[in-house]
Amino acid sequence: MFTASLADGTLINLLQNNYSKEVLERLRNNDSFFCPDCKSPVMLKLGERKIHHFAHYQSANCSIGHEPETADHMAGKKLLYDWLCQQKLNPQVEHYISSIKQRADVFVEWKGWKIAFEYQCSTISPSLLNSRTTSYVQAGYTPVWILSHKKANFKSFSKFQWSFICDFINKHGVLLSLDTNMKSLYVTRPTPIATKQVISSQKRLQLSSTTSLTTCQRVISEVQPIITYKQWLSIKNKNRSMIFRFIDKKKYALFQNLYLAHIPPPCFPVEAGWPVRAMHWIEQPCYMWQLWILLDNIIQKKSDLIFLNDILKNFYKRVQMNHISLRTLPLVKHSKPEDAIEHYVQLLIEVGVLEEAGDYSYKIVRELLYPSHENEALDCDVKMARELIAHT
């Protein structure tokens, strides 16, 4: 940590005033330092390898600074702090919020927002991330969680990494990561293509004196998915041709239901397997959950009229039966899993399967397209992709 109190209560912030090593050595010889939170004595470390910092003695029992801080974590806090100082925003490092007993890595007030930056270098559970976020929000803060770039993988998202997707500026959900060596903030928007696999579009922001928080906000809001329909067709093609690989319990249950409806899995209806907004809420590749929607509501229909409520009810039944699983996204507040379903219903209207019949009710106006073999499926997929592009 960078802050400690002297015996007389004066707060020392090592990131301020550009302290030289000599000055700090003198201070160390003449004074004692104490943790601002637990008040136990801390040592001032003036190493060569890490940035100058304070650390607790091993015996300390502090709720905040007990673990040895990594060089990366300190570098990240310093980078954010220095960057905000350059903008004359008067940030505070290790800002303690007593009402919730949490300490923000860097705090700044900006455009009426009280922003708590958290630079995360170690793995934490989604539930802890959620409870910390909730506490911040309840105390009137806007937490901004930034992952260490070293921890991030932009082709394969772990559960931990998914939990860092946030949407307070970009309503569709982005991952923020910080590279302390390059002094850069990365904004990544993932399009999920399987449980872990994603296609990422990314923008890099150099955190220099010419980049402001306003620039940052704009760039975050602008990051769009880069996936093209051509790319998506090749993904869909793979979904079909490799459908018999890795058959887990979820896939097995889906196959059973497809066979009951006399549909060979590689020839699943053309209408399943298209990207829709908010689909990052669902863990399975989209062809799987969309097939469940088609099976439950259209293929095994009881009447030509269907209701959104029933579609959602059937979807959650599948979730309950563990045929579909949802992601835990504690930082996503502007969308919910139901949005993915509603967007998919919209897609079914666009391709002419459904027609709006009234408020949240739809008429089934045409049969689904069942390709009779894989090559025909590919042709049909291309045609539907064209139709969908025409709608966008």
Residues that bind Zn ion (CB under 5 A): 35, 37-38, 62, 65
Q: How far apart are CA 161 and CA 156, in angstroms?
A: 9
User: Shortest approach of Zn ion to residue 63 CB, angstroms?
Assistant: 7
The nearer residue to Zn ion, 44 or 345, going by C-beta atoms, is 44
Which CB, 62 or 253, lies closer to Zn ion?
A: 62
Q: Which is nearer to Zn ion, 59 or 210 (CB)?
A: 59
Q: What distances in angstroms separate CA 66 from CA 56, 106, 135, 274, 316, one per listed residue?
A: 7, 18, 21, 48, 42
Taking the complex as a whole, how short is the minimal distance between the CB of residue 197 and Zn ion, in angstroms? 42
Nearer to Zn ion, 52 or 238 (CB): 52
Total residue count of the chain as it appears in this document: 392
Q: Which residue has the closest beta carbon to Zn ion? A: 62
Q: Is 321 helix (H, G, I), strand (E, B) or coil?
A: coil
- Angle value at C-alpha 159, between 153 and 160, nearest 5 degrees: 70
- Write down the least CB distance from residue 100 to Zn ion, Å: 16
Minimum CB separation of residue 69 from Zn ion in Å reads 12
Residue 35 vs 298, nearer CB to Zn ion: 35
Which CB, 65 or 173, lies closer to Zn ion? Answer: 65
Residues pairing with 42 in the sheet? 33, 56
Q: What token pair was written down for 335?
A: 């969308």
Tell me the closest approach of the beta carbon of residue 34 to Zn ion, in angstroms: 8
List, in order, residues 6 or more apart from 36 with CB less than 8 Å away.
3, 4, 5, 11, 94, 96
Structure tokens belonging to residue 268: 């699943």
Residue listed under structure tokens 């470390």: 45
Q: How far is the CB of 119 from Zn ion (least distance, A)?
A: 19
